[in-house]
Amino acid sequence: MTEDEAPSPPSFLEVKCNSSGKTRRFAVGTEAGFAVSVINRKLGMGMRLPLALHIEATREGHEPITFGPNSTLVNFGDCWILQTVTDLDFSGIGHLENVGRPERNPVPKVHDFSRLIKVTNTKPAISFVYFGKIVFAFTLLFVIGAIFTLALEYLPVFISFVNSSI
């Protein structure tokens, strides 16, 4: 390599998963939301580890840079590390000390399923009333069709009667 040639940047980015400790590689231009979903899918396979919420670029002595779900992952240089943030890592809004975060109310587990089963009126799906309504609808349809047919059939006679009386 000559002095004029600079080393080419790698064609991938590495994101460290704080839950598993593994580093995942992603192509340059990958959206952060996609990377988080891939990492979470890998975590969900048999492991009981906390899922990633988002990705941050961190460097000692600097404020972390948070990537939104539609942000493109970027390598900021040698000292910056891309890593996931989990619920356990997230100690507050903006990582400020003594700033509380509202707790999520977990959905309570239901062990007694008998309370969930609601007994409803078990009428048969097809009853005589249902069958009667269908027969009535078809009868009404044919009666209205017959009325319009007769009206159109006698329309010329009605028009000639109106013209002769005027």
pLDDT in tens, 147-163: 999 999 999 999 999 99
pLDDT in tens, 34-76: 888 888 888 776 667 788 888 898 888 888 888 888 888 888 8
| pLDDT of 97 | 42
Cβ contact 54:69 at 8 Å? yes
Cβ contact 14:25 at 8 Å? yes
Strands 65-67 and 52-58: antiparallel
Q: What is the mean pLDDT of residues 93-102?
A: 42
pLDDT in tens, 18-35: 878 888 888 888 898 888
